[in-house]
Each structure stands twice: as C-alpha cells, then as structure tokens.
Structure 1
Amino acid sequence: MKYVIVQGDGMADHPLEELSGMTPLEAADTPHMDEVASAGELGVVNTIPPDMPPGSSVGNMSLMGLDPGKYFSGRAPLEARGRGIRVRKDDVVFRCNLVSLGESGSRRIMEDYSGGHPSTEEAEQYVKLLDEELGVNGFKFYSGVSYRNLLVWEKGRNEIDPGDITLTPPHDITGEPVEEFLPEGAGAERMKIIQDRAEEILKRESKSFNGIWLWGAGVKPDLPSFQERYGLSGAVVSAVDLIKGLGAFTGLSPVKVEGATGSIDTDYAGKVRAVKENLEDDSLLFLHVEAPDEASHAGDLELKIEAIELIDERILEPLVNYLSGEEDSRLLLVTDHITGIESKTHERGPVPFAIREFSRSGVSPWRKFAEREASRSGEVLKRGAELVDLLIEGR
C-alpha cells in the first residue's frame, strides 16, 4: 500500500461575518477536496492535547502518529534537524525570528513577527552578522528560511531547563507591547540580554527588521520511526524546517524542492512531482503547504481563501488523478490546527480530515471538506495520534 498525507497548514478557522457566517474552507471553491470527502471517510480530529499549547510542532507531531505529551521536547530542535544542524543531547535550541518592532508612546510593539518576510539571502547576511558579534560563550546563530532562524546554546542544558523558561511565540502578540511578553524564569535574563544586543545591532545595520525574538526552546527528542511503528519508509515534502525535521526524526527523508518557499508563491507542481518520484510500495509521503497559516497570521482573509483554493487546484487535483491509477493507495487530507483570521494565531479545537482509499468505489453523504460538514459526520478522533493508525490500519 502507498500512503499520501496532504497537510494544509492552519486551514481550519471559525465562521466569519465577512463570509456570511461561513468559514474560509466553506467559502473556498474546492471541488477536489470535496471529492476526497464524498468518496471517502470524513471526520474531525483533535490534534492538540488539552494541556499543550496549540501550534504546528504539536499538531504535526500528532499527525505523524506520535503522542506530543510523551514525545514533545520543544519546537526548535525539530527545526535544527530540518536544517541539518547537529544538536547534542545537552544543547538547548531556540527559534530566532527576525522581527519588526514599532513604538506606541514609550512602549515597544510587536509590529511584524516575520520582519517583513525578508528573502532568505537578505536574512542570512544579518544572521551571520549576529553570530559574528554575539556568537560567543557557547551561543551560535544559524540562518534558516527568511525570518525563521535558530540559536543554539551549546551545553546549555547544564545551566538551564528549557521547561523552566516562559517564551511567547511572536505571532501570538502582533500589535502588543513586547515588555509584557519578555522571557521569564530561570535563564531568562540571558535571553533578554541577547535580544537587546541584537536589537542594537539590527537597528544600526538593517532597514528591513530591527530585532530578534527567541521562542520555541527545546532539546533533542528521541522519536520512534515509521519503520519501527508501521514497517514503512517514506519522505516529507515541505519548505518548512520544522516539518522536515519532524520527518527526519521519524524516518521520513526530506525532499528538496527548489521552488518551495513556505509562502503562497511556492512551487506546487514541484511538490507534486516530488511525491510522484518518491512514492513506492510500503511508503508514506507527507506533503505540507504552509500558505494558509501565513495568510491567517497576517489576518488576510482573501489570501487565506486563495491559498486553500491553490492547494485544491495545484496539489489535490493532480494527486487525486495520479493516485486514481494506483489501486493500492490511500490519501489523507488534513490540517494541523485552527489558525484564526480574527485572532491571527493558532487555536485549539477539532479540525476536519478526510481519508480516501482508491481501490474502493462509492459515494458518502458528505459533500464538503470543511469544519461543520466534518463535525456532522459523527466521526470524532479525540487524539490526533490515532489518525495515522486509521489511515494505515483502517478499521
């Protein structure tokens, strides 16, 4: 059997007044997503455990069949693996956003968590500068994709426990005074000093962004592979280091797609090609698209609907056509969490999923891949990690 998971990051949302009470998924024109729902199994799944913060690291760990409560040890080490950065057991890794800070009176405001989405080439030169000036005493900066970068504190675990530091994701505080969300707990002062010194450097050198924000701290995890759990090999197709790292830790080889950007202008055809070239018997391909999540964080409703429709047209249509000729194949369509247009951040709650097995024919009563239609199906998975079991093992 061949398995494909298509994950549209942050597609789920709430009914919106601007859409006459519909959600973006309900309003979007998605005939191919709807075909997967009507020809297969539709339901909702809780990808975020009730006692954990909603986010892509936790949600996607669930979607790879792992219990985050048992295995999650922080977001940044997953990203480091996705970048090919060697992390030791006693290192502490931080996500390091390039950000734009504004002013409101005497207070600094988180103006843009993404620093204006700089090109990777532009961001890289400033991360290199930060490392030259601040990369001492075991600290090292690593460039990533655009604003998404990393800071590794070598042997930092000997001095702090990442679980004792409170670090707020910058996309949760857009428009808010940053002083209310600075690092807290054991080791926090060191983080604040690094952020302050980086701000001084970037204000002097950069016209695009003027600060960094540290968050997502963690240590190297120990995750069982798909081969160990299901006897499957496979690959992951994504522009996002977090997803590539999760894949690598679970035995899915990251596939490089040159035009994959993590934004709405990504190379959709290249991602589909990568799936076709790497899908074999007894394998699983995890295809991730970041664009709906980015649009949600920006509060851009039109862009979110466009991103959903592009996934439908440029990912689902060619994949469904391809898999229709591969009898022993199953497709899972899902999203990792709600990302609200109004809240501009990740939220906990059930999200829709659909599974289609291409060797089976028939039509279900469900007509739309969307939140309320999926809830009406009565299929509810309380634990996100159960979904891969359902995909691979069936009923």
Structure 2
Amino acid sequence: MKGIILIMDGMGDRPLKELDYQTPLQAANTPNMDKMAEEGINGIMDSIAPGIIPGSDTAHISILGYDPYVVYTGRGPFEASGVGVDVIPGDIAFRCNFSTVDEDGIVTDRRAGRIREGTKDIVDVLNTMVLEDYPDVKIIFKESTGHRAVLVLRGEGLSDKVSDADPKVEGNKPKEVVALDGSKEAEKTADILNKVVAKSYEMVKDHPVNLERIENNEPPANIVIPRGAGAVPVVEPINEKYEVNSACIAETGLIMGICRFAGMDIIEMEGVTGGVDTDLNVIVDTILDQVKNSDHDFFLINIDGADEAGHDGNVKEKLEFIEKVDEVVMSKLKDLEDVILILTADHSTPISVMNHSGDPVPMIIKGPEVRKDDVCKFSEVDAAKGGLCRIRGSDVMNILMDLMNNSHKFGA
C-alpha cells in the first residue's frame, strides 16, 4: 500500500458575490474530485489549529507530522535548502522577492511582474557582492521559481532575530530591518541586510535583463527584498519517524526545502512554474511514474497555482486552475489501485483577502477499505458534512499511516 498527500496550495476560499456566494471550489466544475468525494471519506482540516493563519511552510510542517512551534525557525532555511543551497549550522537564511522600485526607492511591484526568465543572470551579478564594512561575511544568493530567490549570510556573530524588509504592499519603500532582541548579533545582521538591499539596487538596476524588461514595458527586477529570517533547524528524518520511504514532488523551493530537511527524496521536474501557467501534464506524469515504478511508498505533492491566483485576487484564474487540475491531474489519480490518496490544501487564500486566512480547508481520503460517507461533492461546505469531521494537520500522517497499515499499537 502506498500513500499520497496531494496539497493544492491555497485552494480554500470564502464565498464570493460574483460567484453567487459560492467559493471558487464550489463554483468550479470538478467531476473527478466529486467522484473521489463520493467514493471516500470527507472532512475539513485546520493545518495548525482553528483560527490560526498558517504559512505554507508551517502548514506543511504540521501536515508532515512535526510541531511547527518547535521545528519552525523561519522560512528562509527551507527555501534555501529547496533551491539547492547547502545551508550549514550558523547560516542565517532568508526568502527574497525580486521586486521593482522607482527612482525614489518606492516599491511599485513586489514581484517584478512575476518575472519568469533572467533571474539567474541577475543572481550571477549579486553573488559578487562584498560589503566593505563586513568583508568576512559571505553573501550567497540563489534564484528560485519565478520572482522568488533566497539569500544566505554566512559568518561569525549573526542572528535570525531580525525583522523583514518586505513592505508587504506596493507604494512604500522597503522596510528598514531592525534587531528584534537588541543583541549585538541581531544589530549586526540587521545592518548587513539593510546594506544588502540598498546595494542590490545599485548592482542590478542597469542589468541587461532589466533594461530589456523596461524596453518591453515590463517591471524590472531591480532590487531584492528579504524576509523570513531563520537559522538552520534540526529535524527528525520522516523515514525514521514513520518507517516509510518518502519522496516530494513539488514546484517551489520552499516545499522542496521543507521536504529535504525532513530527509525526503526530491523529485525534480522541468516546465513547472508554481503558477497558473504550470505544466500540469509534467506533474501528473511524474506522480504516475513514481507511484508505479519507484520504491517510494509515501509521497508529498504540492501544486501551487490556486494560491498564486488567490494572492492576485483573480477569481477567474483560481476557478479555472482548479478545473484544470481536476481535468488533467485528478482524472488520472483518482483510480490508482493500492493507494491511499488524500486531497486537501495547506491553507485558504481567499480572493477577497489576497492572503492566507485561518479558514479550514476541505479534505478527501480515498482508497482501499476507507469508510465512505454521504458526501458527493468536493468543497469547503460539503466536506464539512463528512465522516472525517474536523481534524488538524498534525493528525494527517497518523491517519494515513493507519490506513496504509503502517502504524503500531499504542498500549497492550
């Protein structure tokens, strides 16, 4: 028996007037997900706890069976590991955006028009950065998918107790990074970050990639804005924790990084973007190949486009992406044999909020000997009527291991 947790990132939502007060998932045409709901057991899940707004990182950590309040040190280390940076103890890592600022330093686009190409060339320049005041601190940049990047600071006397530079909204300058605990290490790290942000603009504002983007009326990726500071965490290997042989199939560096820290094998894919334009055929072909031909018996899968549409407040794109996943991916996965398949989300990203919320997300569990309930449609509202009732993310792996007959009895 094999187990799959397929997470549609940010799929959950709230009722929208333009959809006759339905969520995008309720309004979408999803015959394959609905068939799964009919043949499985349904419920809703709070990734961390009711009303707690999870990040994608803390949600996945919880769903994989770890306590995010213990394991999570910040998003940066997971993102850095996910894109292939060998972070080591003592490193301080950050998640970054390639962003656009005007001549006055005002952020006009936090995601540089969701840039897709050329970021590696920009990073090649940024990796020559040396700060005169801190010559012994190594500055490591690495591009991730789309507008995302990572920054790693390596040196003595650094701290992850610093604030973010991300202003969160356009129309403001990058925030001044400050120490959060008043320590000398944090003060030093904050000063380094402020200098890195300023110098990144000077180094790449006239980069050929950006000059071409300006000529094409596209926002240039002319500054790097870090956030999510974190020190390298210590994580119990998931293969030992649950006695599985695990693999991760994901589009974004963040999720791959979380899984890499957990000791999971990372299955690389080409042609995936983490957005609504991703190649879903590549994803489903990779899943099928791994399930049928590899020795892995547990898979964590993340598909990210619905989250992007939610952050953009684009109801049409979110609804259409859900339908596309149903048509391309779930049509081929729903009938897998000898597989316990869990379909859920890591969090809600409501169109009206354009950010994560604490709303619970729907879940289906389908597979051999799974009890069925009376739910016949997959949505946030319908799933709440199911036999799984309301669970937390920390319950998911235990439930999956039991259904895979991979659990041990507690007690005599």
TM-score by length of 2: 0.85
| Cα deviation, residue 129, structure 1 | 1.1
Q: Is residue 2:123 matched to residue 1:127?
A: yes
Query: Which residue does the alignment assign to 2:354?
Result: 344
Query: Which residue does the alignment assign to 1:34?
Result: 34
| Cα deviation, residue 49, structure 1 | 4.5
Instruction: Output one character per residue of 1:139-165: Cα deviation in whole Å (capped at 9) or x when no partner.
Output: 221222232111111136x332x1x22
Structure 2 residue identity aligned to 1:367: C
Q: Is residue 2:261 matched to residue 1:249?
A: yes
| Cα deviation, residue 29, structure 1 | 0.8
Structural mapping, 1:9-20, within 5 Å: 9-20=9-20
Q: Is the 8 A contact 1:89 1:219 kept in 2?
A: yes
Are the structure 2 counterparts of residues 34 and 68 from structure 1 closer, same or farther at C-alpha, using a change threshold of 3 Å?
Answer: same
Counterpart pick for 2:393 among 375, 384, 390: 384
SS in 1 for 2:58: helix
Q: Is the 8 A contact 1:37 1:369 kept in 2?
A: yes
Are the structure 2 counterparts of residues 18 and 190 from structure 1 closer, same or farther at C-alpha, using a change threshold of 3 Å?
Answer: same
Structure 2 residue identity aligned to 1:165: V
Query: Which residue does the alignment assign to 2:163?
Result: 166
Using the alignment, how far apart are the partners of 2:193 and 2:346 within structure 1? 29
Using the alignment, how far apart are the partners of 1:370 and 1:183 within structure 2? 41
Using the alignment, how far apart are the partners of 2:314 and 2:299 within structure 1? 30
SS in 1 for 2:384: helix
Counterpart pick for 2:108 among 90, 106, 111: 111
Are the structure 2 counterparts of residues 282 and 204 from structure 1 closer, same or farther at C-alpha, using a change threshold of 3 Å?
Answer: closer
Q: Is the 8 A contact 1:128 1:143 kept in 2?
A: no
Query: Which residue does the alignment assign to 1:318?
Result: 332
Q: Is residue 2:292 matched to residue 1:296?
A: no
Are the structure 2 counterparts of residues 30 and 51 from structure 1 closer, same or farther at C-alpha, using a change threshold of 3 Å?
Answer: closer
For the pair shown, the structure with the greater C-alpha radius of gyration is 2
231-240 or 142-151, larger mean C-alpha shift: 142-151
Are the structure 2 counterparts of residues 44 and 52 from structure 1 closer, same or farther at C-alpha, using a change threshold of 3 Å?
Answer: closer
SS in 1 for 2:232: coil
294-303 or 202-211, larger mean C-alpha shift: 202-211
Q: Is the 8 A contact 2:52 2:358 kept in 1?
A: no
Q: How many residues align?
A: 380
Are the structure 2 counterparts of residues 362 and 131 from structure 1 closer, same or farther at C-alpha, using a change threshold of 3 Å?
Answer: closer
| Cα deviation, residue 131, structure 1 | 1.7
TM-score by length of 1: 0.89
| Cα deviation, residue 273, structure 1 | 1.9
- Which of the two has greater strand per residue? 1
Structure 1 residue identity aligned to 2:299: L
Are the structure 2 counterparts of residues 86 and 282 from structure 1 closer, same or farther at C-alpha, using a change threshold of 3 Å?
Answer: closer
Q: Is the 8 A contact 1:92 1:154 kept in 2?
A: yes
Structure 2 residue identity aligned to 1:347: S
Instruction: Output one character per residue of 1:76-96: Cα deviation in whole Å (capped at 9) or x when no partner.
Output: 211222222111111101112
Using the alignment, how far apart are the partners of 1:356 and 1:60 within structure 2? 20
Q: Structure 1: any 5+ residue segments left out of the alignment?
A: none
Query: Which residue does the alignment assign to 1:261?
Result: 273
Query: Which residue does the alignment assign to 1:199?
Result: 201
Q: Is the 8 A contact 1:9 1:336 kept in 2?
A: yes
SS in 2 for 1:385: helix
Structure 1 residue identity aligned to 2:194: K
Query: Which residue does the alignment assign to 1:189?
Result: 191
Using the alignment, how far apart are the partners of 1:52 and 1:153 within structure 2? 31
Using the alignment, how far apart are the partners of 2:330 and 2:246 within structure 1? 19
SS in 2 for 1:204: coil
Query: Which residue does the alignment assign to 2:241?
Result: 229
Query: Which residue does the alignment assign to 1:177?
Result: 172
SS in 2 for 1:222: coil
381-390 or 12-21, larger mean C-alpha shift: 381-390
Are the structure 2 counterparts of residues 243 and 146 from structure 1 closer, same or farther at C-alpha, using a change threshold of 3 Å?
Answer: same
Using the alignment, how far apart are the partners of 1:115 and 1:211 within structure 2? 9
Using the alignment, how far apart are the partners of 2:14 and 2:108 within structure 1? 24
Q: Is residue 2:277 matched to residue 1:275?
A: no
Query: Which residue does the alignment assign to 2:344?
Result: 334
14-23 or 77-86, larger mean C-alpha shift: 77-86
Q: Is the 8 A contact 1:239 1:261 kept in 2?
A: yes
Q: Structure 2: any 5+ residue segments left out of the alignment?
A: 180-185, 215-219, 408-412
SS in 2 for 1:346: coil
Structural mapping, 1:19-168, within 5 Å: 19-49=19-49, 54-101=54-101, 108=106, 110-120=107-117, 122-134=118-130, 137-155=137-155, 158-160=157-159, 162=160, 164-167=161-164
Query: Which residue does the alignment assign to 1:212?
Result: 224
